[in-house]
Amino acid sequence: APATTKEAPAPTDNKKLVVGFSQIGAESGWRGAETASIQETAKNDPTIELKFSDAQQKQENQIKAIRTFIAQKVDVIAMAPVVETGWEAVLTEAKNAKIPVILVDRNIDKKNEDLYTTFIGSDFVLEGQNAAKAMVEHLGGKGNIVELEGTVGASAAVDRKKGFDDEIKKHPDIKIVKSQSGDFNRATGKQVMEAILKSPEGKNIQGVYAHNDDMALGAIQAIEEAGKKPGSDIKIVSIDGIKEAFEAIKAGKLNTVVECNPLLGPQLFQAAKDLKAGKQLDKWIKSNEEVFSGQKAIDALPNRKY
Ligand code: GYE
């Protein structure tokens, strides 16, 4: 380039809004969809630079990633916290460094509300309630249920359990006979269901409630291998709404799916830009979600985005 006395314009890179995102891992179809949404939204926005870190399900890796983002002086830190507790120290470090934190899809302890700016995600208690209402209907108000819980200590698991269990308590002829974690993934969901089906309680089960679709899909395999019919002998209700769950409804193996939106990329970067512009954000940017059973699910299948 020819020499010039004028100062070169700052490279456009310097003007980008730098967002560090600490993702939990890749345990479910839902999470894959969320990762894709966040990465694609960033890629298609020339004003954004995304630093993406995968914690492989370990909180300690998330804490390390956040410390790295602080050292790199990113503009905004975003994270999907694997569990609710244990964030106080590292988020205080972010606060002291004056880097705002956005929580994506899972929440942290209520007592640490001052350590993040906004939570973008779903009402998990409501999802659990909606799952329970569907289950009550499928069972005609009577039966024994297995509950496959998500990752121990994750807000999505704690609140989906609370919403469901409280609603089921209103129905004295329905009992949750087993409730166990399948860690939000298919293989563990299948294993746990296999063991339950072999246990004494497992001989008399009419319903399975899974905190996510992947565990439900694992349970469906276990039920079929045990010689029973998922969807009819044992009613199944789960949360997320990935395409495979809709396909399972179409095949008659799953009864209801409660939607939980993973396509949070656009909202995340909008929130980051709003923060940068000095706007005050709502403490909770809530997703709007539907419940799908039967024909409604079959009709929706061709247009599912994840
Ligand atoms: O439902 C599940 C995933 O945090 C809302 O995590 C999310 C949950 C989602 O692994 O499939």
Residue by residue, pLDDT tens for the chain (306 residues) are: 454 455 555 444 468 999 999 999 999 999 999 999 999 999 999 999 999 999 999 999 999 999 999 999 999 999 999 999 999 999 999 999 999 999 999 999 999 999 999 999 999 999 999 999 999 999 999 999 999 999 999 999 999 999 999 999 999 999 999 999 999 999 999 999 999 999 999 999 999 999 999 999 999 999 999 999 999 999 999 999 999 999 999 999 999 999 999 999 999 999 999 999 999 999 999 999 999 999 999 999 999 999
* 104 CB burial (10 A radius; 0-12, 13-18, 19+): buried
Ligand 1, closest atom to CA 213? Answer: 11
Element (H, E) at 269: helix 265-276
Both tokens assigned to 75: 């503009």
pLDDT at 6: 54
What is the 8-class DSSP label of residue 230?
Answer: B
CB of 31 within 6 A of ligand 1: the answer is yes
Which residue reads 């244990």 in tokens? 86
- Measure CA 7 to chain center: 48
Which of 28, 84, 259 has most ligand 1 atoms within 8 Å of its beta carbon, as the pocket-test mutant? 28
CB of 178 within 6 A of ligand 1: the answer is no
CB of 212 within 6 A of ligand 1: the answer is yes
CB of 183 within 6 A of ligand 1: the answer is no
Ligand 1, closest atom to CA 106? Answer: 4
In a 3-state reduction of DSSP, which class is residue 248?
helix
pLDDT at 179: 98
Instruction: Report yes or no on whether pTM surpasses 0.90.
Output: yes
pLDDT at 15: 85
Give dist(CA 44, CA 26) in Å, integer. Answer: 22
